[in-house]
A and B are shown apart, each in its own frame.
Chain A
Amino acid sequence: MSEVMNQAPLLEVRNLRKLFQAKSSFFAKEKTFIKAVDDVSFTLMPQETLGVVGESGCGKSTMGRSVLRLIQPTSGEIFYKGQDFMKASGNELRKMRADMQIIFQDPYASLNPRMTIGEVITEPLNIQKRYASKEEAREQVLKVMEVVGLNPKYYNRYPHEFSGGQRQRIGIARAIVLKPSLVVCDEPVSALDVSIQSQVLNLLRRLQSSMGMAYIFISHNLSVIKHISDRVMVMYLGHVVEMGEKKDLFDNPSHPYTQALLSAIPMPERHSTRKKIILQGDLPSPANPPSGCIFHTRCFMAQDICSTQSPELKDLGNGHMCACHFCGQCKETQ
């Protein structure tokens, strides 16, 4: 661990916020904002995998895209390899972008249907003008196709001729062809069949160790997150509610939401002795978030203070952060 500590962080995100303006009537005096990402901060070391988990509306996808400035953040600071990413523009921005890529969830929408897969994977090289000659670029692309498990023979085929798992491999090939240091994986296996998920997860892990990339791995599936992450961040309605090393978070979930998430996962085993926490109610609307603690409307431990005061992220030791007034005091799931 000490070698990791001595390295400079790859990515530093501080107080990232993204607000969307909700469509209000022309005559409304106040504009309603949707706080998709509300004050998120974290650090990512090189070759580390940060798992981001949460349910729909928690802002994890928005956060992943905001970090890459595919969605312009409303405020906050992003430092990539020490450089101020928020202030970059023009050529500098383009160069920085080459080093951070994204893999999407939907294998059917993420590939241009009018391009052959060879062209799809070559596109980043062309945009970044990496190679002087077409032959060099083609060679590079064929190599990458082999690495991700695609038969180089399919260079001239179109995306619609492939299955979901293969299209996802094409998307991965496109993301790694520029040899980035950071890849944001936005639910890359959620749309795939179970038997293909494990193939793709193994591929992602293998690529990470052979190419030395860091991942921000976004998923709603805690089992997948546990398998692939080093550190985990749990989000709820745009806020970070718990964050820490994987072992700390899974062995000792401190935030009630994390505990509920863990217990809600249906386990493929009979007669499980886990106690189920079933949360009452639905996710609150992001345009109208609860006062005080963001989770208190569904929390099984809520007290008076929770509806008035919003808890700060407390460090419980070893970087294990939790945003709850009663961190770790609930031992429901033992």
Chain B
Amino acid sequence: MGFFNKQKKFEQEVMENGMQYSSFYGDSFKRLKKNKMAMFCSAILVALVFIAIFAPLIAPYDPTFQDYTAVLAEPSLAHPFGTDEYGRDILSRIIYGSRVSISIGIVAQIVASVVGVTLGSLAGYYGGAVDNVISRIMEIFQAFPDLIFAMAIMTFMGKGVLNLFIALGLLTWVRTARMIRGSVMQLKEKEYIEASRACGASTYWIIMKGLIPNCLSTIIVLVTLGIPNAIMYEASLSFLGIGIQPPTPSWGNMISAAQTFISYRPVYSITPGIAIMITVIAFNIFGDGLRDALDPKLKT
């Protein structure tokens, strides 16, 4: 055993002074921190989530409170963004609207991701007939123009928040499934997957412990970049009147209502539009930064 002791001692000396303990996510976080723009956007997102959660404490007025003395008022100290046609404070409605948009965006995307990851990994791992069937289903879903598809679903199922989730989920799962299918097809040939099979691992084990963890960075990025998409879809559907119904404030239905008054009170439609813009851009930039930080090509 003399050989091993000498070997150990040597490696210990070199390793202790040389190598630093590092993990994949630790290193990724370090890379992310260096990206100033992404960190700035993450601060914006944290602020948005904060606003959404603490809306009742932050908003100066109840969003449904109608003040008939101040209908379509100009922006003033009392109403920084003015009021809408029912005398409701626009700022408060925008703050409450963030709840709707952000929560719908996140939940819809998570639902879509779960569906997408499941179907994508099954298609990628099994290949053959399973892959054929799932791929054809994906193609059918992709063949429809997004918004029209969502409109059709909402019209068919009727209005309501749950139906909205379903419609948004059905729109976005395909992209995730496609990417995961590709990653899984590539990863399943790797030797460490073969090693697990050599130990008698079940398909469930291989997918959950071997394949998905290696796709996690792809999944995280897809979710992060998918949320602004979902927010845009929700805004569009609400704008068209089949999404979130008034009096619940949503940035989309506010813009829709503001259309009539666009020349008289432009601030009414601009402010929710800016809110959407800031949210979507912040998510996109942060998502890009996250993808660069997690990019496995940077680490062997």
Contact = CB atoms under 8 A, between A and B. Distances in A.
A–B touching in complex (CB under 8 Å) = yes
Interface in B15-71: 15, 19, 21-24
Nearest to B198: A102
Interface residues of B, number: 32
B213 A114 contact: yes
B192 A127 contact: no
Contacts of B11: 151, 166
B214 A161 contact: no
B210 A112 contact: yes
B196 A110 contact: no
Contacts of B210: 112
22 contacts: A68-B198, A95-B200, A100-B198, A102-B195, A102-B198, A110-B192, A110-B195, A111-B192, A113-B24, A113-B299, A124-B199, A127-B199, A128-B200, A146-B4, A149-B4, A149-B8, A156-B21, A158-B22, A158-B24, A160-B300, A174-B195, A202-B3
Interface string A74-107: 0000000000000000000111011011101010
Nearest to A129: B200
Nearest to B209: A123
Interface in A139-172: 146, 149, 151, 153-154, 156-158, 160-161, 166, 171
B200 A93 contact: yes
A14 B195 CA distance: 25
B197 A154 contact: no
A65 B197 CA distance: 11
A75 B216 CA distance: 39
Nearest to A98: B200
A68 B190 CA distance: 17
B130 interface: no
A128 B197 CA distance: 11
Contacts of A202: 3
A128 B205 CA distance: 12
Given A114-B216, A146-B4, A178 B199 contact: yes
Contact of A158 (B8, B23, B205, B209): B23
A4 B94 CA distance: 84
Interface string B184-202: 0000001110111111110
B216 A70 contact: no
A108 interface: yes
B197 A70 contact: yes
B191 A97 contact: no
Given A93-B200, A97-B198, A112-B210, A154 B15 contact: yes
Contact of B214 (A114, A123, A199): A114
A102 B191 CA distance: 10
A91 to B, nearest CB: 9
Contact of A70 (B19, B198, B209): B198
A304 to B, nearest CB: 44
B132 interface: no
Contacts of A100: 198
Interface of B: 3-4, 7-8, 11-12, 15, 19, 21-24, 190-192, 194-201, 205, 209-210, 213-214, 216, 296, 299-300
A151 B216 CA distance: 30
A97 B199 contact: yes
Q: Could you say which interface size class chain A belongs to? A: 35 or more
Contact of B200 (A97, A104, A108, A174): A97
A131 B244 CA distance: 54
A109 interface: yes
Contacts of A94: 200
Contacts of A127: 196, 199-201, 205
B12 A128 contact: no
A156 B22 CA distance: 10
B194 A114 contact: no
Interface string A26-66: 00000000000000000000000000000000000000010
Given A112-B214, A202-B3, 12 more contacts: A94-B200, A104-B194, A109-B190, A112-B192, A112-B210, A113-B296, A114-B214, A127-B196, A127-B200, A151-B11, A160-B299, A174-B195
Nearest to A152: B8
A6 B187 CA distance: 45
B24 A114 contact: yes
B12 A153 contact: yes
B191 A110 contact: yes
B201 A104 contact: no
B195 A104 contact: yes
Contacts of A124: 199
Contacts of A104: 191, 194-195
